[in-house]
Amino acid sequence: MRPVTPLLVVDIVIRRGQEVVLIRRRNPPFRGSYALPGGFVDVGETVEQAARREAREETGLRVAIGRLVGVYSDPRRDPRGHSVAVAFLARPAGGRLQGGDDATEARWFHHRRLPPLAFDHRRILRDALSRRAT
């Protein structure tokens, strides 16, 4: 019998100077709310590969993954069920910013003028920006 375990997700803080990329969510939960780009890790994929893929799919940007921001495992972080997020700091490395896949919009926000955020993404952003950037 296979054990029941949390789902593995990635969240990406894409930073350019004092700005970060946020996406507007297309689907529930938090449909219409802003969030960090991210999503589920596919079987056979590393978390770094998943972060690059999700960033590209949701923002149109290719990213260079920097440092690990942290691992976020509060069982209540996602109303769909228990998930564990691996969050990375990244910088843009090409592409053109545009919403796609699960995002109706992707745009830059000054890190001190952020809208309300879905999930625990304000905490992840705070952790990412409180340390030296890549």
Q: Give me the pLDDT at residue 45, please.
A: 98
State the catalytic residue, choosing from 19, 45, 57, 105. Answer: 105
pLDDT tens-place string over residues 93-134: 999 999 998 899 999 999 999 999 999 999 999 999 997 544
Print burial letters for 19-49: b (CB count within 10 Å at least 16), e (below 16). ebbbbbbeeeebeebbbbbbbebeeeeebee
Q: Give me the pLDDT at residue 1, please.
A: 87
Indicate which CATH number applies to the domain containing 55: 3.90.79.10
The mean per-residue pLDDT over the stretch 56-62 comes to: 97
Q: Is residue 95 part of a domain?
A: yes
- Work out how many domains the chain is built from and give that number: 1
Closest CA to 80 of 3, 4, 5, 7: 7
* Cβ–Cβ under 8 Å, residues 114 and 22: yes
Is position 58 annotated as part of the catalytic site? no
Q: Give me the pLDDT at residue 101, please.
A: 85
Identity of the residue numbered 15: R
Q: Give me the pLDDT at residue 133, please.
A: 43
Extended strands (E) in 17-128: 19-25, 34-35, 38-40, 61-72, 83-95, 103-110
Q: Is residue 16 part of a domain?
A: yes
pLDDT tens-place string over residues 5-40: 999 999 999 999 999 999 999 999 999 999 999 999
Identity of the residue numbered 48: E
Q: Is residue 12 part of a domain?
A: yes
Q: Is residue 29 part of a domain?
A: yes
* Cβ–Cβ under 8 Å, residues 87 and 70: yes
Q: Name the residue range of residue 50's domain.
A: 7-129
pTM exceeds 0.95, yes or no: no
